[in-house]
Amino acid sequence: MIPVLSAALLLLWPAAWNGYPLVFSDTGTYLTQAIERHLGWDRPPFYSLAILPLHMTLTTWPVVAAQALAAAWMLGLLRRALVPAASPWSVVPLAGLLALATSLPWCASQIMPDLFTGLLVLAAALLLLTPETLPPRTRWALVAAAAFMTAAHQSNLPILLAVLLALAPLRRALGAAMPLGPRGRAMLALPPVLACAALIAANLAGHGRASLSPYGNVFILARVIEDGPGRAALDRYCPEAGWKLCAWRDEMPDSADDFLWRADSPLNRAGGARAVSAEADAIIEAAIRIAPLATAGSALRNFARQMADFATGDGLTAWPATVSPAILRDFPGGEAASYAGARQTRDSLTVPEPLGALHIAAELAGVAGCLLALALGWRRHVGAGFAAAALLAVLANAAVTGCLSGPHDRYQARIMWLPLAVAVPALPAMLGRRAAASAAVAAARRPPALRFAG
């Protein structure tokens, strides 16, 4: 337990340097959903519900402390799966490397569910590839954690399904030592099943719609409008189609973010996401019908842009309109003063340029390391399976966020620490096994006298 605690402390340095846990525009909603009992149209309530018993409207520090502990615990399980003979203390230098060279501590130190995308992939890989290395209670804890992390953010479900569906048929080729069996398959299926049930139940209770994402089509609508085909559909079919957005088709903003979040955007002037969602599918379908190749081309470009955009520190500005009111309204004066004195609140928090450059180089090295681990370990070592999971998660995350929401550095930064986390323990384990195997073969080929002399 002490190694995990030590590793967790290393992951909290951005919050300590800031003087307060990091926040983002969405942090205000995630804090107030459970406190003020409201369900937003764009975010599931489960992260908000989970952090309420941690902060208790007193201080938000326990939230990031719990996130750092979760990350350190998961890194410890990864270390045990890949290098079972290593000391439990080996998680500390691994966490230290990731704390310095990747975006992981910036995700762990922020009151946002972004950290859970990478941790979810690790949990799924552990349950898929090495469940026999885990005590029963740990396996069930991973199932519960994976179910929560899947439900915490709308993008996590398709990423989880992509990893499981792609890798499950290949698990033995990816180094898995034991068959899953019916019990193992059931445990692997529980996280997405439980998450889907929870999302549908919450949306039915809160919005009256039995849906995984009742207003998710509004994000896609914003995307096709920014890319162009959505504007073309509005120009061609308005005003005859009778869509609410027809009244503002000549005032569409240039970016999807402005369409979604600006107070005077056409979306809000047309009645908000709940009202526009009813016609969003028709506009999206018309956009695809008018310009199928342009729509597909835009999706590919957005995917490529998202793969290239992963700089750490996106959104580290002050958020006086979306976060400050929640802190001032729902937390005591001492907490509000601590928040007000933080570097980020004073708009003086940035990732130093040399550190940002190190992150990019180290994370690209992690991708290269996972490609090498996949080549070295195919059908030989389970590290190949973890490497494949990390690489597939990087691709799936870029596809889901880039194509459906829009490229942002923070979307890809939340997952780019994962390949390095896998490659660092996996490659030495593989190379050590290959060296031992080569030595054993060489010894077996020696003449008997030479073997005795050696």
117-127: per-residue pLDDT in tens? 999 999 999 99
Contacts for 30-39: CB closer than 8 Å, 24+ residues apart = 30/111, 30/112, 30/113, 31/55, 31/60, 31/111, 31/323, 31/326, 31/327, 31/330, 32/326, 32/329, 32/330, 35/326, 35/330, 36/330, 39/202, 39/206, 39/207
Task: State the pTM of this model.
Answer: 0.92
pLDDT at 431: 82
What are the CA-CA distances from residue 332 to residues 57, 188, 336 (Å)?
8, 42, 6
Which amino acid appears at position 251 of this protein? E
Q: Provide the residue type at 312 as one letter.
A: T
Mean pLDDT, residues 392-418: 96
Domain locations along the chain? 2-178+316-438, 217-308
- What pLDDT does 453 receive? 46
In this predicted structure, which of 82-91, 94-103, 112-121 has the lowest mean pLDDT?
82-91
User: Per-residue pLDDT averaged across 334-355, rounded?
Assistant: 97
Tell me the pLDDT of the chain averaged across its residues: 93
Q: How far is CA 204 from the centre of its chain?
A: 25
State how far the Cα of 451 lies from the Cα of 431, in Å rounded to an integer: 24
- What residues contact residue 149 under an 8 Å CB cut-off, 6+ apart? 113, 116, 117, 119, 120, 123, 156, 191
Give the mean model confidence (pLDDT) for residues 42-49: 94
pLDDT above 90: percentage of residues in the chain: 87
pLDDT tens digits for range 420-454:
999 999 999 888 765 455 555 555 566 665 444 44
Asked if residue 370 lies in contact with residue 423, where contact means CB atoms within 8 angstroms, the answer is yes
Q: What is the pLDDT of residues 264-301, one digit of tens each?
A: 999 999 999 999 999 999 999 999 999 999 999 999 99
What is the predicted pLDDT for the residue at 437? 52
